[in-house]
């Protein structure tokens, strides 16, 4: 089968193992104690805010979430909601946040699905895609001009598919065995839903690997700095202007290490303090929740 020239040289920088090894090497020479902590966080121009587990949990906002946004407005700082969850689109996230008490335009939300579609659009807008994802993810790619097919695709995209069926996985495995370029929108193992934990795309990646022996060639979402590049274009800011706030060491904090931006871990979601022991993903700051970040910014203005 003929493949577009782009995909003969698909970069492997997004492979999760490669990213984690890169972070580990950097972290040994990049200890938080060696930095000017106050200057880095207080001078950030734009905060990348994770959603699930950071800004809200299930159907309620995390304590201090609205206070944090108020502080950013008062200090003339910008923000962008950045989520690895590719099961929904920007409009759905904007509607949810609005219903929770904070009206927000959809252009202030960036998902790993949108970032993946933007990346592929830049590389080869004519590629035919086989997508395992929700109808919302499929529409994201259609809105970027892609043709979605079941047979004879050029490239495979796996998202967080909450409409997953066995037949979808079976078809994906068949295509993966053909050696086609294989991209995942993000690597997350779990998705916090209120007090519960929902299996995320990581379990689907593991299924495909168990059957085919292959992992995705590229993962575009956090911790791949590709998603930071998309955010920089979206906000018209340099990468160094950003700081990230999130609840996961291996995505949110790892993204800061791969991209060089300031990292803040909140303990309102997946990560616990004990998870920091021996982890290569050490944050610059740790707070109980996003409200604590707001209080810190007020005190250190």
Cα three-residue angle 60-65-70, rounded to 5 degrees: 140
φ, ψ dihedrals at 156, nearest 5°: -115, 135
CATH class in words for 5-20+122-219: alpha beta
Question: Domain limits of the chain?
Answer: 5-20+122-219, 43-112+222-299
Task: Name the pTM for this structure.
Answer: 0.86
- Residue 123 is predicted with a pLDDT of 94
- Residue 274 is predicted with a pLDDT of 96
Count of beta carbons in the 10 Å neighbourhood of residue 146 = 22
Residue range 64-91: mean pLDDT, rounded: 97
What's the token pair of residue 47? 């905060």
Torsion (CA) 126, 132, 133, 136 in degrees, nearest 10: 30
Contact 180/208 with Cβ under 8 angstroms?
Answer: no
Name the band, by pLDDT with cuts 50, 70 and 90, for residue 30. very low
User: Which is nearest to 298 in space by CA: 19, 70, 47?
Assistant: 70
Contact 185/159 with Cβ under 8 angstroms?
Answer: yes
CA distance 37 to 110: 27
pLDDT at 5 over 80: no
Residue range 13-25: mean pLDDT, rounded: 45
pLDDT at 22 over 50: no
CATH class in words for 43-112+222-299: alpha beta
Contact 16/22 with Cβ under 8 angstroms?
Answer: no
Cα three-residue angle 189-223-289, rounded to 5 degrees: 75
Give pLDDT tens digits for 263-291: 999 999 889 999 999 999 999 999 999 99
CATH topology identical between 5-20+122-219 and 43-112+222-299: yes
pLDDT at 113 over 90: yes
User: What Å distances lie between residue 259 and 79, 232, 296, CA to CA?
Assistant: 17, 11, 24
Q: In the 3-class helix/strand/coil scheme, how is the chain assigned residue by residue?
A: CCCCHHHHHCCCCCCHHHHHHHHHHHHCCCCHHHCCHHHHHHCCCEEEECCECCCEECCEECCCHHHHHHHHHHCCCEEEEEECCCCCCHHHHHHHHHHCCCCCCHHHEEEHHHHHHHHHHHHCCCCEEEEECCHHHHHHHHHCCCEECCCCCCEEEECCCCCCCHHHHHHHHHHHHCCCCEEECCCCCEEEECCEEEECHHHHHHHHHHHHCCCCCEECCCCCCHHHHHHHHHHCCCHHHEEEEECCHHHHHHHHHHHCCEEEEECCCCCCHHHHCCCCCCCCEEECCHHHHHHHHHHCC
Cα three-residue angle 59-199-264, rounded to 5 degrees: 65
- Residue 37 is predicted with a pLDDT of 60
Mean residue pLDDT of the chain comes to 89
User: Which is nearest to 222 in space by CA: 246, 193, 200?
Assistant: 246
Give pLDDT tens digits for 196-233: 888 999 999 999 999 999 999 999 999 999 999 999 99
Residue range 46-70: mean pLDDT, rounded: 95
């Amino acid at each position: 089968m003929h493949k577009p020239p782009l995909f003969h040289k698909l970069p492997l920088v997004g492979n999760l193992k490669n990213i984690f090894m890169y972070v580990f090497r950097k972290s040994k020479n990049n200890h938080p104690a060696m930095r000017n902590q106050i200057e880095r966080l207080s001078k950030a121009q734009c905060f990348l805010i994770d959603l699930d587990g950071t800004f809200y949990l299930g159907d309620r906002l995390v304590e201090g979430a609205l206070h944090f946004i108020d502080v950013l407005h008062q200090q003339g700082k910008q923000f962008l909601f950045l989520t690895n969850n590719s099961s929904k689109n920007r409009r759905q996230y904007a509607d949810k946040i609005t219903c929770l008490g904070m009206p927000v335009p959809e252009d202030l939300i960036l998902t790993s699905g949108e970032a993946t579609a933007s990346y592929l659009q830049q590389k080869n807008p004519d590629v035919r895609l086989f997508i395992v994802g929700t109808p919302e993810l499929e529409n994201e790619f259609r809105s970027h001009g892609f043709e979605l097919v079941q047979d004879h695709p050029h490239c495979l995209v796996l998202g967080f598919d909450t409409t997953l069926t066995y037949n979808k996985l079976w078809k994906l495995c068949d295509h993966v065995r053909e050696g086609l370029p294989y991209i995942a929108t993000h690597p997350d193992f779990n998705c916090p839903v209120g007090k519960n934990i929902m299996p995320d795309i990581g379990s689907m990646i593991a299924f495909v690997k168990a059957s085919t022996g292959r992992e995705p060639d590229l993962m575009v979402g956090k911790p791949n700095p590709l998603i930071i590049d998309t955010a920089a274009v979206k906000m018209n800011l340099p990468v160094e202007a950003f700081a990230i706030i999130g609840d996961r060491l291996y995505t949110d904090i790892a993204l800061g290490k791969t991209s060089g931006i300031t990292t803040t871990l909140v303990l309102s979601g997946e990560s616990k303090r004990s998870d920091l022991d021996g982890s290569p993903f050490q944050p610059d700051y740790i707070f109980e929740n996003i409200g604590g970040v707001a209080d810190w910014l007020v005190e250190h203005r």
